[in-house]
Structure 1
């Protein structure tokens, strides 16, 4: 009986909507394993691009610190440091390194200790810049 009305609705052009999946708490165990496996791995070229950008920005920071007679050096250092911190947050997200909640806000600079910890975590995971 249910098949007839589905066929009739399909003939008219009405599509059936699949039922909503159950929440994860009621999902079978195989579903959560399959779902974890179905997530695509991170793109290696995106990681390489972030590494190259980190290398460029860190070289620019070293050049700013080594040249004592740059006009408006302070504002340039602040802007470059903010760019470096943003790239570092992106790299941590790609590598799976935990960051603090306020580190995801663009424009805020990290403390030196937190920046060093994240850099060391990335180095232990094979990142180099």
Structure 2
């Protein structure tokens, strides 16, 4: 049994030595990438200067301008709604002392609903503003 173990260890030692020699015996020549007839590497990876491409791309510039205008209109819409809500809250606070508890509760609920609507509009402005719609181009 001991001889079998000794023989197996010797075989494994020889295999490890052979693999060590193969891996670290020196550098092997690395093949250059194949270039097709068009002068581009066969794998198709190329470098594009995207800044220059986008600068000269008129369609991109038009869409960016449209997007910026739409974003400004959405921001203006949300700002005006927020100001309107603030004015209503201020008006309510001025009138709250002379109101009955039921009227105060109803007014507070109405203002809370408007505030919730405004928060939803801020989360999804593209779906909420009048006259704006995302095009599927």
- Provide the TM-score with structure 2 as the length reference: 0.35
The structure showing larger relative contact order (alpha-carbon pairs under 8 Å, at least 6 residues apart) is 1
- Provide the TM-score with structure 1 as the length reference: 0.37
